[in-house]
Structure formats: C-alpha cells, structure tokens
Structure 1
Amino acid sequence: MESRLTRLEAVQTMLLEIGQKSSTCTDISEFLQSVHAALGRIMYAANFFVALSDHEGPANQVRFVYFVDEVDEPPDPGELCELVAGESPTAAVITSGKPMVMTAAEHVSKREDNAGFGIGTIAEHWMGCPLLDQNNQVLGAIVIQSYDKQHTFSHEDQALFALIANHVSSALRGLQSMDRLERAVQERTALLAHEVAERRRAETIQRALYELANLSATTTGGNVLNTRLHEIISELVPAQNFLIAIYHPDTEEVSIPYFVDQKDDQAPVKRFDFGIGMSSYILGRKQAALLDKAGLNALVAAGEIAQPLGNVDIASWMGAPMLLGDQAYGVIIVQSYDAAVLYSQGDLDILAFMASHVAVAIARMQAEREIRRAKDALEEQNAALENALTSLKDAQGELVRQEKLASLGRLVAGVAHEINTPLGICVTATSHLVEELKLTREDMAAGVLDEDGLNQFFDIIDQSLRIMTTNTQRAAALVRSFKQVAVDQSSDDIRSFNLRKYLDEVLLSLQPKLKGKPIAIEIDCEERIEMASFPGAVSQIVTNMVMNSLVHGYEEGQSGKIKITGKLDGDVVVFEYSDDGIGMDTGTLAQLFDPFFTTKRGSGGSGLGAHILFNLVTGALGGTVKVASAPGMGLHYKLRFPKVKRK
C-alpha cells in the first residue's frame, strides 16, 4: 500500500510538472523531453516517442517530433512520414482515436499475415495512446515500448499512461497554438517586409520600363537613345562603366555604338569580328553572366573568351544579351573597378530583365521601319487579293448557279423520260381505238355488224379509255409536280405551303432517279406544318440529300432505307434525314460542306451538293444544320429552321 501511495504521489507530481512546463516552455521537443524524464520515474520508459499529424497535409502523414529508442535510429523530426493504418500500430491509434497495447507475440502474428506490418524492431510490449484536441480530434499518438521481457506494462501502467496522454494532449494544444501563432506572426512580418522591398523595387523597374518604352517610341535610335538608356539602368544598378554592343548577323560583326568607362576614354575598337571579346562570349552563350577578376581570368585561360578588349582590371563585371526569343540583338555590359561595388545575382537579374526589354524596343523600332517600307507593297497586294477574292466569289457563285441548273436539267430529263412511258401507252391505245373504229364502221356499212360485234367494240372502247385515263393522269401528276418544283427551284420568292404535301411532290419528281433502285423512302412528317418560306430551298435541300445518298451512300444494286421526319418545336421546324448507307469517317465528315470536296470525282460527284445544302439551310431558310456519321452507320442530318421566314 505504501509503494502504491508513493507511486500515486509521483504521478501527481508528474502531472503538476507537465502543467508547469507547458506554461513556461515554448519548444515542443523540450517539453516532451521533460515529460519523458518524468515518465521514467513512475514506469519503465527507455523507449518513448511522440508522432503528431500534419494538419496541412494528408491525414496519414506524421512527424516524429520526439523519438528515443534503444534499438532503432530516430527519424528526422522535420520529415513527414506516411503511415498506413493496416500496417502501423501508431497509425492505427491515430486513425481509431483509441489506446492500443500489443505484445511481441501479437506483433509477430500480425506480421505473418502482413509482412509490412510495423515499422522497426518488434518490441516485447508496445503501448500507445491518442493525443486529442478539445474537439476530440486526433493530434497524434504517444507511444512507449519495451524490448525487455523483464519490463512489461501492467493494467495500472496502461491506465496511468492514458491519464498522462490526456494531460500531454492539453499541454500540446497550447504549445501548438503558441507555436503556430508565433510562426504566423514571424512569417507575416517577413512577408510584409519582403513585399515592401519588392514593391519599391517593382515601382523603380516599372518607371524604368515606362521611360524605356516612351524613349523607343519617340526616338529613332542613335546616341540620344543610348545615353538615356545608360541613365535609366544607372537608377537600378551601379553602372558608372557601361557598354552597348550591337550584333550584325549579316556580316557576323559586333559594333560598339555606346561606351562609357572610367579608365578608357573611348572603346578600344568600334567594330570587330564576332568571336572576339567578352561581348562575343555573352552573345554566343545567349545567357547573362556575372564575373569577378578571377572568374574572368579563368575564362580567358580556358579559351572561352578570346582577346578580351579594353581594361580587364575589374572588381566585378556583368553582361546580359539583348535577346528576343532566340534572336540576339546585342549585349549590355556593366563593370566596376571598385572592390566596394560588387554586383549580385539580383543585380544581374535586373540587368538581364532590362536587356530583354531593350531587345523588344529595338525589335519594335526595326519592325516599324520594315512596316513603313512594306506598307505600300502590302496595300498593293491587298488590292490584288481583294480583286482575286471577288473574282473567286463570282466564279464560285456561277458554279453554284450552274450546279443548280444542272440539277434542274437532270430533273427535266428524268421527268421527260418518265412521262414518255404513259404518253406512249396513250398513243398506242389511241391508235388501237382508231383502228377498231374503222373496222366497226366497215362492218356496219357491209351490214355484217351484229349485237356481239357492237358489244365487243364497246368493251374495246371502255378498256382503251381506262388505259388512257390512268396514264394521262399519271403524266399530269408528274408534270404538275415537276412544274411546281421547277418553278420553286428557279424562284427566290417566299410562299405558303404544307411541308408534308410539298415533300410528296418533291419525292414524286425524284421518282425517275429512284426507279429501279432497291431504296425505300419513308416519310414521317406532321400534317399540320404550314410554312411561309422558300419552297425552292426545301426542294433543293431534299433533292441534294437524296441524290447524295444515291451517289455516295449506296453501292450499285445495294438495298437501303431513307427516312425523312418533320415536326414542330414551337415555331421551329425540326427536319431530320437519315440513310443506312456506308457512312463516312471523321476526316471525310469534317470536309462534307467544303465546296468542291467529293469522294466521287469523275463518277457523278461535283462537290457542291452538300455545300449548296448548307448555304440554303443557314442562308435562305435562316436555320442550322448538324450532321453525324460513322463508317457503316449511314448519314444523319438534323436541320432546324423557322416555320415562317421573315424578309
């Protein structure tokens, strides 16, 4: 009993130490070290670690902020470690939010089922408790373990460890809040200071760029531009010694139009071959470079800089190419002879930035000169192109008109051929009737006409008249249909018509083309669609669709089915046409409406059928057209156009 009371007093003392340490300590690692030391006074704690979840990353990533172990090496406290619940007891504690105790036998059993279970050496006894925040959300896990069979954890140890974990959780919540607040304040302060510095620097660079842009827009080059450029760059970096070199790709030479130096009154040479001097070194690399005297001497010794020109007794040197894309216009060089003025990478970045904008200014001035020289020639070319385009449009319009007339001509030929049959039958019937009438009169004159002969004559008359009536009606229907369709196709007038009845007339006029072909046409069009639009456009569209199907969709003798549907969607007619022919691939479909594109060149295809169809739908009818197809899946058009076309 006495030892139990002593232990409880030690536990109480430890809890007080945890509370006091958490209020005075600001470092989590230092705090956990004190917890470890106090824990060792009440139970075996040679192996102890704490893993905290990374709240800014995935839930299964932790940092081992404190780790002491007799066997395993400690992980980096700043490194994120990924733990999988099914493979790590620590992850299982964090995931479940519940304490966990595991013996070596249990660990071995789990590893036999899963070779990857558990990170590190198997402990004789392992005990972990979750660390929870005020909302019972898991902060991490606190773990103690033993590799010694003489030191295992009793139920009382487990209960005490859970109690200690609860107090450590409370302390860690405060420490983490303070740590995050301090870090946030420090980061924000540093960020604000950086933003202020960057803003001032950006304002200075912005002014310099504005002056450079204004300078390039108001001057044509020369010494005025170069002098002012020197002044602008001097406001950004120390540039008492300044040089501008221009590259001439046509002659592969470098010229020095501007040179200011403390030790040399003028440039050693005004123009030299590319490959000589430090300017050529920068032009060849097409990259900015920062050098001191030792670096310059090393490059000269290595042969990377040939024949350095001018004074090389430098303290610091930097050069940047005036580069636009892959084209180098020249180099800007700044150097210092004073050991107190040494350039940094930041200075080089500014010089390179300004050099790139100088290249833009030079390119713009050169482009403006080229534009002025090319303006007159361009205007002449534009005029010639406009004339050619007008001629092309006229020629295209004439070809389209000829195609429409050719289509009408084919319609005339087909109807004429179709009318020839019923009219021939009528002529034959008439000739037969005339002959029978002559014979009957002769019999009557000879007095041999009896009642049977007369009745036979009447039967012949009746039969002939029926034949003549049927065929003349058939011819009349063809003529009537052709007359209306032909007038509509050659007229641009708006008139009222019933879409279903008009489709019947158009298809009747196409019967000569369909005759003898095993192609069935099905019409499913609402009877109530009364339109006020261009019937000629509708006729031409349907004709082109059917003819394209016959020419391109089906092989000779191939049977098929064409379906035409029409319905109203408010005041809009939804017109669909589909065939079950061979279809077309994506590449062919993409060019379907292009003028003069055809897959049957020289075999009846002009390349204008679908083009005229598209123009009629989008132009005359004021609608839209969509088309879908795939090899072996036929062709499907979906048209939408207003029921009433406004002029």
Structure 2
Amino acid sequence: MDTTLENILLHVSLSPVLDSGDSQAAELLLLQACLNGLKIARVSLWCFDDNKDVITCEQLIDKDLPLSSEKSTFNRRDLPAYFSALDHQRVIRATDARNHPATAEFTEDYLIPSNIFSMLDVPIRFGGEMIGIICCEQKKTIKHWTDDETHFVAALADLYGRALTASQKKQYQQQLEQLNQQLERRVAERTEQLEKHIHELQHTQAQLVESEKMASLGTLVAGVAHEVNTPLGIAITANSHCVELTDKLQKLLESNTLSRSKLEATIMALRDSHGVIERTLNRSAELVVNFKKTAVDQSSYDIQTIDLADYILTLVSTLKPYTKSYNVSHIIQCPTPVNITTYPGAIAQVITNLVINACIHAFEQDNNDNQIVFLIEQKHKDKDKVELTVQDTGKGIAKVDQKRIFEPFYTTKRSNGGSGLGLAIVYNLVASTLGGTISVESTLGNGTSFRLTLPVKCPTASNPIKKMESS
C-alpha cells in the first residue's frame, strides 16, 4: 500500500475518536481520511435497513457543498442492478459510473445532477453481516481506482466496525447507568415502603401485645375476683356469727342468767370464728399481693432481677382461679436457685399465655390428672443462659400444626373463638423482648413441651416494643 495511505490509516487507527463511542465523530474522521487519501471531493457513508431493501445516507462530505444532516435514501425496487451487486458483498469499482452495469441506474437522478463520473463502493461489515457501504465519488473527471485505494477504503470500513463497537459499548453503559439509577430509585422507594410497613407492623404488634396483656389481666382479674370473693364471704359470715354470739352473751348478762358453762362455750365459739376470719383474710391478702405483683409486671416492662422459680410460683398462684376449672396442678422443678435479670412483665405474659393455651387446647375439663410442669435448668457449659421448659400432659399437637403454631392468626380453635395470636405473641416476646429462643416438641397423646432458652442477663437494647411504647 502507498506510504501516504498507510500513514493516514495509521493516524486514523490511533485516533481516540474511534473508541470514544461518538459514532458521528468517528464517521466524519473516516470520511475525511477517504477525502485526504484518495484526493477526491465527495465521500459518503450509507447503511442498510433490516431487510436490506433500503440504503440511507448517514453522513456525506462534499467539498463543494456545506455539511448537511439531510438523509437521502435509495430503494431496491428502483435500483435492482445496484442492490444485486451489493448482495454479493463485493467492492463496486466503477471507473465510468454512468456506464457501469452496477451503477448506470444512478445516471439520470444522481450522477449527472451531482456531476459524478466515478464511484468506489466498499462494503462495511459488522457482526458477520454487511450493514452498509463507504461510497467514494469522483466529480468532474473519471478516476481509475487502484488496488491500494480499494484496500485503503476497505481498511477504513473495518475501522468503522471498531467505532460501532465502541458506540454500542457506550450505549450499553448509558443504559446500564440508567438501569442502575432506576434500580436505585426503585430500591429507595421499596425501602421507604418497607420501612413504612415495618413501622405499621411494629405499631400493630405493639397494639396486639397490649391487647393480649389486657386480655391476660382480664383473665387474672376475673379469676382473682372470684377467688377472693369466697374467703371474704366466709369472713363476713364468720363475723356475723361473732356479732350474733356477742348479742346473745349480752342478753344473758343483762338477764343475770349467764352461767360459767355458757360463757366458756361462747368464748370458744368466738375464738373459732375469729380463727376462720383470720385465715380467710390472710388468704385473701396473699391473693391480692400476688395479683398486684403480677398485674404490675404484666402492665409494664421494667427490667429487674428475679428468682425465676419463686416468680413462676407466685404467677401460677394467680392463675389457679382460671386453671382450677380444668383440674390443672402445677409442678415447679428447679434443682438450684436461678436468678436472672430480665423483664418480669414479659415472662409473666409468656407463662400466662402458655398456661391458658394448654388449658384451651391441650386439656379436657373432665380429666382429673392435668399437669403443667415448669422445669428450670442452668446448663454448666453455658452459664449465661437458662432453660425453662413448660411441659403439659395434654393431648399433644400434630406435626403439621407444630410447623405453624407460632404464625400470627393460625389457630385450630377458630370456631371456638381462638384468635391465633397467643403463641405468636409468645414467640415475639421471647425473641424480641427477652432476647431468647423458643421451640416446641410434641407427640399426639403424650403432651407438649415448650423449651425457652433465656439469657441470664437480658439485652436491654433489643426491645422494640418497649421503645415504641415509650415513644
């Protein structure tokens, strides 16, 4: 190849414009190289449509005309010989374009008006297909196209493929950036929606927990009220009997008919009545104290250090008015004293829900041997945790139900008024508020065990319900 052409080709191949992604600038660079190398006055770049039936001028440089963005087109139906020659994807070297079999069709409408005598059309290939041509045209005189000139334009056509690759890459990058921006916007919107939903769920969760606490308190209030009413009724009856004995004693004294034996019998009866009053009032006072302690715990979440076994003993005593109708006996097993720093209110609610859940779902009221065993153990290998197992002797839970019992609103007692929230709230309290874990083991006919693993020192930071209630 001619040295001048080689130098121009080298200059073009080293130009950063080819790899800039600016296809229009690359087209102008290549066409200008054609003008300079071939010393012609007119060159253009044409591209096919998808069916290769139409070819459109994408860029034209004519030294006698200003640069124009107007796009000319030619159709296969108007130029069948020319398009047939292009179908073979070969170079068209028309020294006398007006008489060449492939280009003669252009004579009247194109060659003569533009004063063109010679044409050199070199195919542009990209991705294994011919996508267009570089058209070099000589005006005013006939030009004999040399092999070097043909190879030179063919090399420039190949470089145009490189420019198209860079342009596609730039487009892909821009599309990727747009997609990333859209994705970031969608992620931000979705995050905002999720945060809103989480806030709503936390608010709903707090409301459900509060409702469940009030329901538990309602159960305690009703049961304790009934339980306290019985000893108070006995105390009132015994007190009335004391008043009656005192009145009789006074009448005997006023009528001077009081004998020693009657006085001793009356004093003995009064002592018996006073004993009954004292025992029943002490029992009532004990119930009120336990109820007050449990009620305060369930109505607020304050962190305290408690003896877990003693606390559960106090708690189940307040539940006896409810569990008595199910003939439930409570057994607390604790080999060694275990003190934990935790939220007693959450513990109270968890135990209350588990006991009530056992009464509703596990026990038959006509069974006189219903038991709930509380086993408290502190493993030697992990002294930072304590295991609390709540085991009943009820009818057990089917395996298909065990997988879902902690799901909100899942219940097997929907027809009997079950809400499906009791164990869901238990799970949430254990996991979120108490910082522990809970699992269930059960076999139909052999009872159910809920195993709670609790930290000896509750993490005060992970208490979203408490934070929401205080906000």
Indicate the TM-score class for this superposition, using the shorter chain for normalisation. 0.5 to 0.7
8 Å contact kept, 1:500–1:527: no
Deviations 1:434-486, CA, capped at 9 Å, x for gaps: 11211121122112222332232123212212221221121111111111111
Matching of residue 567 in structure 1 with residue 380 in structure 2: no
After TM superposition, the structure 1 = structure 2 runs for residues 615-630 of structure 1, keeping only pairs within 5 Å, are: 615-630=428-443
Aligned residue for 2:227? 418
Structure 2 gap ranges (5+): 1-18, 29-46, 59-71, 77-82, 91-125, 132-166, 461-471
Alignment match of 1:634 (pick from 430, 447, 450): 447
Aligned residue for 1:600? 413
1:533–1:370 distance in 2 versus 1, CA, 3 Å: closer
Of stretches 567-576 and 378-387 in structure 1, the one that deviates more from structure 2 is 378-387
SS of the equivalent of 2:273 reads helix
Alignment match of 1:487 (pick from 282, 285, 296): 296
Matching of residue 334 in structure 1 with residue 147 in structure 2: no
Q: Within 1, Cα distance between the matches of 2:201 and 2:459?
A: 30
Structure 1 gap ranges (5+): 1-214, 228-242, 248-253, 260-265, 271-307, 316-330, 337-357
1:224–1:610 distance in 2 versus 1, CA, 3 Å: farther
8 Å contact kept, 2:378–2:385: yes
SS of the equivalent of 1:510 reads helix
What's the offset of the Cα at 1:257? Answer: 10
Between 1 and 2, higher relative CO (CA 8 Å, sep ≥ 6) is seen in 2
SS of the equivalent of 1:523 reads strand
What's the offset of the Cα at 1:255? Answer: 11
Matching of residue 510 in structure 1 with residue 319 in structure 2: yes
Aligned residue for 2:283? 474
8 Å contact kept, 2:362–2:396: yes
Aligned residue for 1:161? none
Deviations 1:541-597, CA, capped at 9 Å, x for gaps: 211111111122234535533221001122421211122333334443333333333
Deviations 1:255-276, CA, capped at 9 Å, x for gaps: 99999xxxxxx99879xxxxxx
8 Å contact kept, 1:541–1:613: yes
Aligned residue for 2:308? 499
8 Å contact kept, 2:387–2:454: yes
Q: Within 1, Cα distance between the matches of 2:407 and 2:178?
A: 40
Q: Within 2, Cα distance between the matches of 1:309 and 1:544?
A: 88
After TM superposition, the structure 1 = structure 2 runs for residues 38-187 of structure 1, keeping only pairs within 5 Å, are: none
Q: Within 2, Cα distance between the matches of 1:418 and 1:511?
A: 9
What's the offset of the Cα at 1:508? Answer: 0.1
SS of the equivalent of 1:515 reads helix
Of stretches 623-632 and 476-485 in structure 1, the one that deviates more from structure 2 is 623-632
1:451–1:398 distance in 2 versus 1, CA, 3 Å: same
Q: Within 2, Cα distance between the matches of 1:310 and 1:404?
A: 89
Q: Within 1, Cα distance between the matches of 2:448 and 2:168?
A: 56
Deviations 1:75-100, CA, capped at 9 Å, x for gaps: xxxxxxxxxxxxxxxxxxxxxxxxxx
Deviations 1:43-78, CA, capped at 9 Å, x for gaps: xxxxxxxxxxxxxxxxxxxxxxxxxxxxxxxxxxxx
Deviations 1:373-414, CA, capped at 9 Å, x for gaps: 687677566545544442342232122112212212221221
Q: Within 2, Cα distance between the matches of 1:548 and 1:461?
A: 46
Deviations 1:334-375, CA, capped at 9 Å, x for gaps: 379xxxxxxxxxxxxxxxxxxxxx999977755654665687
SS of the equivalent of 2:325 reads coil
What's the offset of the Cα at 1:645? Answer: 3.5
Aligned residue for 1:546? 355
8 Å contact kept, 1:245–1:332: no
What's the offset of the Cα at 1:430? Answer: 0.7
What amino acid maps onto 1:560 in structure 2? Answer: N
1:359–1:513 distance in 2 versus 1, CA, 3 Å: farther
After TM superposition, the structure 1 = structure 2 runs for residues 27-38 of structure 1, keeping only pairs within 5 Å, are: none
Aligned residue for 2:252? 443
Q: Within 2, Cα distance between the matches of 1:313 and 1:456?
A: 137
Q: Within 2, Cα distance between the matches of 1:547 and 1:258?
A: 85
What amino acid maps onto 2:373 in structure 1? Answer: K
TM-score by length of 1: 0.44
TM-score by length of 2: 0.59
8 Å contact kept, 1:494–1:534: yes
Q: Within 1, Cα distance between the matches of 2:84 and 2:401?
A: 65
Aligned residue for 1:532? 341
8 Å contact kept, 1:533–1:621: yes
Q: Within 1, Cα distance between the matches of 2:440 and 2:176?
A: 46
Q: Within 1, Cα distance between the matches of 2:377 and 2:258?
A: 64
Alignment match of 1:614 (pick from 427, 433, 451): 427
After TM superposition, the structure 1 = structure 2 runs for residues 425-440 of structure 1, keeping only pairs within 5 Å, are: 425-440=234-249
Q: Within 1, Cα distance between the matches of 2:395 and 2:75?
A: 77
Q: Within 1, Cα distance between the matches of 2:374 and 2:204?
A: 33
1:364–1:459 distance in 2 versus 1, CA, 3 Å: farther
Q: Within 2, Cα distance between the matches of 1:589 and 1:529?
A: 30
Q: Within 1, Cα distance between the matches of 2:455 and 2:234?
A: 45
After TM superposition, the structure 1 = structure 2 runs for residues 579-590 of structure 1, keeping only pairs within 5 Å, are: 579-590=392-403
After TM superposition, the structure 1 = structure 2 runs for residues 195-594 of structure 1, keeping only pairs within 5 Å, are: 313=88, 332-334=127-129, 366=175, 368-369=177-178, 372=181, 383=192, 386-558=195-367, 560-569=370-379, 570-594=383-407
1:490–1:314 distance in 2 versus 1, CA, 3 Å: same
